[in-house]
Amino acid sequence: MAECSPAGYAVLGLIARHGPMTPYELKARIQDDIEPFWPIPHAQLYRIPPGLAQAGLLREEAETTGRRRRIFHLTDNGRAALERWIAEPDTGEPETRDPAQVKLFFADLGAPADIVALATRQAAQHRKWLSHYESLRAELEPSKDSRQSARARLLRLGVLHEQAHVDFWESLAADPGRLDD
């Protein structure tokens, strides 16, 4: 039933949206758009598309001359699989890996001042991401273009997410003893 991983569908989706692409182009697009909620190491982008081609969801067209890039096209099967996946509201559980939270969890085993230092650093870090998302959002033209609206929605979530973290770490830095709301 699960025809491929979210990473696979991300590849299908990018090609569906922007047309045939090489792994290298995929890399650039993913870094911009998808990284924040589904990181994909670059080497995977030379493994996933051939796999999807095997499965008949993409078609590979290799240049024979010069640089011999491998360009991947969406097939009808690929588009169908992508649409089936989008229509399925059940998804896997989200996963988070945040070294700062691990550290905070064990902070009582260290010096009390360590918490303030950690929280200050984290607050700054998340504020940076927050303003990054906000400026990306500001750049977005307020068109009714449905492609733009996908990005806009995710940016809104990114802002909410970073805002929550900024609030948390800032309040922790300001008053490390406090535990209530």
Partner DNA sequence: TTGACACCATCCCAATGAGACCATAGCTTC
Partner DNA sequence: GAAGCTATGGTCTCATTGGGATGGTGTCAA
Among 103, 132, 136, 170, binds a copy of itself (CB under 8 A): 103
Pick from a copy of itself, DNA, none: which does 174 bind, CB < 5 to 8 A by kind?
none
Beta bridge mates, 59: 73
Pick from a copy of itself, DNA, none: which does 44 bind, CB < 5 to 8 A by kind?
DNA
Any contact of residue 94 with DNA (CB under 7 A)? no
Any contact of residue 27 with a copy of itself (CB under 8 A)? no
Any contact of residue 22 with DNA (CB under 7 A)? yes
**Distance (Å, whole) CA 40 – CA 27:** 9
Say how many residues make up the chain. 181
Any contact of residue 24 with DNA (CB under 7 A)? yes
Pick from a copy of itself, DNA, none: which does 106 bind, CB < 5 to 8 A by kind?
a copy of itself
Torsion of CA 163, 136, 141, 150, to 10 degrees: -70
Beta bridge mates, 71: 61
Among 18, 32, 39, 175, binds a copy of itself (CB under 8 A): 39
**Distance (Å, whole) CA 45 – CA 49:** 7
**Ramachandran region, residue 19 (left: φ > 0; alpha: ψ -120 to 50; beta: rest):** left
**Distance (Å, whole) CA 153 – CA 39:** 19
Chain positions contacting a copy of itself, by CB under 8 A: 6, 9-10, 13, 16-17, 33-34, 36-39, 82-83, 85-87, 89-92, 94-111, 114, 117-118, 120-122, 142, 146-147, 149-154, 156-157, 160-161, 163-165, 167-168, 172, 179, 181
